[in-house]
Chain A
Amino acid sequence: MLPTQPSPRRKAITAWFQDRLAWDSVREFLAHKTVPVHSGTIWYAFGGITLFLFVIQVITGILLLVYYRPTPTEAYESVQFIMTRVAFGWLIRSIHIWSANLMILSAFVHMFSVAFLHAYRKPRELVWLSGLVLLALALGFGFSGYLLPWNTISFFATKVGTDMATFVPWIGSTAGRYLRGGDAVGGATLTRFFGFHVAVLPALTSLFLLFHLGLVQKFGISTPPWVERRSRGVGAKTPQMPFFPDFFLHELMVWYGALALLGILAALFPWELGDKADAFASAPAGIRPEWYFLAPFYTLKLIPGHVAGIEGEVVGLLGFGLLAFWWVTLPFWGARPDGTVRSKLVTGGAVAFLAYLATFSLLGYLR
């Protein structure tokens, strides 16, 4: 059968949009965009999975907003209402929480894969930095969203988290009061955490996400140094895969897999609500934060009240600060002035950091 020609009407409509959107340039851009193909190509998928899960967060978050009420007298009850009276409310809430957890896990995998593939090196230092800002914002989403159901565990997690902030030198007490909206965790804390969670953090995330993705588009996807060396050795270019449709379809399949996993987890392991927060009840036995805060939680358990005359919390905060600084500045100490990477130093450091996070998270969970 001969291919059919587009009708004059369809041609006219296409031309009308072309004149106004210039989508030929998008088509041109997609036709030339490529992704390097090598044994580590699979790790490139995790940035996309993180983005996909973030979109699910936004959609389910908007749905939860329809019924959620951010006051101490109504928050717990409104979540209870969502879970028991709203059609599929329990599932939407469960998807929201599971996708948050999977998003943070995926962001961590993405971060470590960037470190191990040395994708942070010149000229991508700002991609690394903006990615870490996005991870910090994701943790901020986790921390602020945790309080919203106003249950016992979230109440104490917020008490501990905001109390930690008070140990920051010079600005600590102001920061603590600002976060809590007063001296103690209460209604003022809940309303401002709600504001952070649904307005401030989404706005900042959108901004940094645009910046991050813009830079990824500008510099393209990084090729690991050993793949570049191997290609140079044989006088050939690194094999490339067209971004559209090849990589895009791969990515779509991976997203589909992530969606299936999310559906299974949300449906078979719905998130429980627990007991309502009570400012005059003891912290229950076995209380622990979300898994992504377990490593610092367990570290704080181990630090004694005073270390060399300094309060334990200050020592802990100083340690976390130094660790964060060391990790954030990786593109600067992990590469030489000529742009070549200090491969062993970075890989060793990343393995040690990963080992610390994994071991302390596991110990924090078990003990």
Chain B
Amino acid sequence: MNEVVGGKEQDLAPNAGKIVKFGTQPVLLVRITQTEWRAFSAVCTHLSCIVQYDASRKLIWCACHNGQYDLNGKVIAGPPPAPLKEYAVHLRGEDVVISRG
């Protein structure tokens, strides 16, 4: 599998995120602004919990051991040893398409 449709553009508001199934893997799709989208592997590189988008702090957060990543997937705090793997995002009409970067 090389790409999935993560939903319709209007379904996700700016400064919000959601988990999308990419085959058997969970991917976190984040809409940063009206036009800026990002997607990362949602599996925390620490001990494999599923991360979430923290809208109030504008970062990606893992509730299990308080791992924190910025919106480039880079570790900014906590125990994760490596960044989150990034996926490419583009719009195809109204569809938000996530593909392997």
A, B bound: yes
- Complex CA distance for A160 and B28, rounded to whole angstroms: 19
Interface size class of A (residues with CB under 8 A): 20 to 34
- Is B10 on the interface with A (CB-CB < 8 A)? no
Instruction: Verify A306–B48 contact, CB threshold 8 A.
Output: no
- Complex CA distance for A286 and B19, rounded to whole angstroms: 19
The minimal Cβ–Cβ distance linking A309 to chain B, given in whole angstroms, is: 11
Instruction: Verify A282–B42 contact, CB threshold 8 A.
Output: yes
- Is B72 on the interface with A (CB-CB < 8 A)? no
- Is B34 on the interface with A (CB-CB < 8 A)? no
Residues of the A chain whose Cβ atoms lie less than 8 Å from the Cβ of B50:
156, 280-283
For window 127-166 of A, CB contacts with B under 8 Å fall at 156, 159-160, 163-164
- Complex CA distance for A281 and B28, rounded to whole angstroms: 10
The minimal Cβ–Cβ distance linking A82 to chain B, given in whole angstroms, is: 28
Residues of the A chain whose Cβ atoms lie less than 8 Å from the Cβ of B13:
none
For window 280-312 of A, CB contacts with B under 8 Å fall at 280-287, 297, 300-306, 311-312
For window 35-88 of B, CB contacts with A under 8 Å fall at 42, 46-52, 62-66, 75, 78-82
Residues of the A chain whose Cβ atoms lie less than 8 Å from the Cβ of B81:
305-306, 311-313
Which of B19, B49, B75, B82 counts the most A-chain CB atoms under 10 A from its CB? B49
List, sorted by A's number, 25 A–B pairs whose CB atoms are closer than 8 Å.
Answer: A156-B50, A156-B64, A160-B47, A163-B47, A184-B24, A279-B26, A280-B19, A280-B26, A282-B19, A282-B52, A282-B63, A283-B49, A283-B63, A286-B63, A287-B63, A287-B64, A297-B65, A300-B47, A300-B79, A301-B65, A301-B66, A305-B79, A311-B81, A312-B46, A313-B81
